[in-house]
A and B are shown apart, each in its own frame.
Chain A
Amino acid sequence: MAKMTLEELRKLRDQKQGEMQKRDIEGKDSRIVIGMGTCGIAAGAKPVLDAFLAALEEKHIDNVSVTQTGCMGLCYVEPTIEVIVPGMPDVIYGKVDAATARKIVEQHIIGKQLVTDHMFDRPAADIIKKDGGK
């Protein structure tokens, strides 16, 4: 691939946006938050981020928000990720690898069913503020 310029990137984005508007909007308002603290990185959170992006691209889902946070307090089950899908409970998954990431996209984000064998907890007590962080 030749080195892309910012102008070429802009054209590619315009082209993609055109394609997107033709499709049904799957994944709208869904969010994936990846724990990218020292513990997460050491356990492989970065390949997990790659796997989520690849799985979403494969399914042509462009509008899921994919973002990062620090440690969620569950260092013993890293990499941890939080998935927020409208109409479903917010879930923190642990021990997530590339295969699990794919499963979460297919089963949770598209299929609207929880991946129960990787569910651990909400954020652990040591990072929840007394007022619930509000």
Chain B
Amino acid sequence: MHICIDDYLLDIVQNSFEAASTHVELALDETESKLTCLIRDNGKGMDAEVQKRVLDPFYSDGVKHTKRKVGLGLPFLSQACEACQGTFALHSEVGVGTTVEFSFNLAHLDAPPMGNLVSTFVALLSHPLAKELVIRRTVSTRKGNSTYTLSKEELEEVLGSLSTSGALNLLREYINSQEEEVMTYHVEPKMQSETRRTQQEM
């Protein structure tokens, strides 16, 4: 089982890379109570029949691992979203691409912790199958809002191939500085159960 939100992101964006996409987009919009995520690719897509079955943990197309009988990425994700009263939606068309849109209700006690987004972005941007990946991360709360965008093509133009330890450590430093800036607008979600208790006490 995955523990943090970033584990789900890493897992599901990789599906897009493996679906022969040339352009993948990951957008994360965080407010005080909600994280909305969008993963969109222009890969091979899935037909209606496959789309119906991908949320079944005992379904796998058997291409990558011929003898394997489970496919856990999307089932894990949809289960985690459901557990915290978030949302999950999948749209796909053969030959056009796939979009996965989901959200976590951060104020729910069963919402997973965010994890380490910087490491996740380093891992995703340096994935060997990723051609162009554009990550957009926004934090908007009562403190204000801020956003940053990372583009693999742009970063490779500056750092060269994102495959050596030196380039990856520079990449980490760069993303860290972006993340620190948006996190100044971060507000810890107020847990729903606490809200209820306060209301009862009143």
Write the residues of chain A forming the contact surface with B, with a CB cutoff of 8 angstroms. Answer: 1-4, 6, 9-10, 12-13, 16, 20, 27, 36, 38, 41-42, 46-47, 49-50, 52-53, 56-57, 61-71, 73, 126-127
Contact between B174 and A56, CB atoms less than 8 A apart: no
**A residues within 8 A CB of B165?**
27, 52-53, 56-57, 61-66
B177 & A1 in contact (Cβ 8 Å cutoff): yes
What's the dominant secondary structure at chain B's contact region? helix
Q: Is the CB of B65 within 8 A of A46?
A: no
Instruction: Report B-chain residues with C-beta under 8 Å of the C-beta of A65.
Output: 163-165
Q: Which residues of B contact A16 (CB under 8 A)?
A: 166, 170
Q: Which of B107-160 contact A (CB under 8 A)?
A: 116, 119-120, 122-123, 126-128, 148, 154-155, 158-160
Query: For residue B164, which residues in chain A have a CB less than 8 angstroms away from its CB?
Result: 62-66
Supposing A50-B119, A73-B65 touch, asked if A13 and B11 sit within 8 A by C-beta, the answer is no
| Residues of chain A with a CB closer than 8 A to B64's CB | 70-71
Could you say which of A38, A53, A57 contacts B73, with CB atoms under 8 Å apart? Answer: A38
Verify if B35 is at the interface (C-beta below 8 Å from A).
no
Instruction: Using CB atoms, name the residue of chain B closest to A4.
Output: B177
Q: Does B30 contact A (CB under 8 A)?
A: no
A63 neighbours in B (Cβ, 8 Å):
164-166
Are the C-beta atoms of B178 and A36 separated by less than 8 Å?
Answer: no
Q: B18, B119, B165 — which one has the most chain A CB atoms within 10 A of its CB?
A: B165
Q: How far is the CA of A2 from the CA of B11 in the complex (A)?
A: 30
Q: With an 8 A cutoff between CB atoms, is B19 at the interface? A: no
Q: Tally of A-B residue pairs with Cβ under 8 A?
A: 112
- A13: chain B residues within 8 A (beta carbon): 158-160, 167, 170
Task: Report which B residues bind A (CB closer than 8 A).
Answer: 1-3, 6-7, 10-11, 14, 18, 64-68, 72-73, 76, 116, 119-120, 122-123, 126-128, 148, 154-155, 158-160, 163-170, 172-174, 176-178, 180-181
Which residue from A42, A50, A61, A66 sits with its C-beta under 8 Å from B1?
A42
User: B123 contacts A49, CB within 8 Å?
Assistant: yes
Given contacts A12-B170, A63-B164, A126-B67, contact A50 B116 (CB under 8 A): yes
Instruction: Give me 13 other A-B pairs in contact (C-beta within 8 A), A10-B158, A38-B76, A41-B7 excluded.
Output: A3-B178, A12-B173, A13-B167, A13-B170, A41-B2, A42-B1, A46-B116, A46-B120, A49-B119, A57-B165, A62-B165, A66-B163, A126-B67
* 13 A–B contacts, CB within 8 A, in A order: A1-B176, A12-B170, A41-B2, A42-B3, A46-B7, A46-B10, A46-B116, A46-B120, A49-B123, A64-B165, A66-B168, A67-B163, A126-B65
Nearest CB of chain B from residue A13's CB, rounded to whole Å: 6
Given known A4-B178, A50-B119, contact A68–B126 (CB-CB < 8 A): yes
Give the distance in Å from the alpha carbon of A47 to the alpha carbon of B7 in the complex. 11
Q: B178 touching A46 by the CB < 8 A rule?
A: no
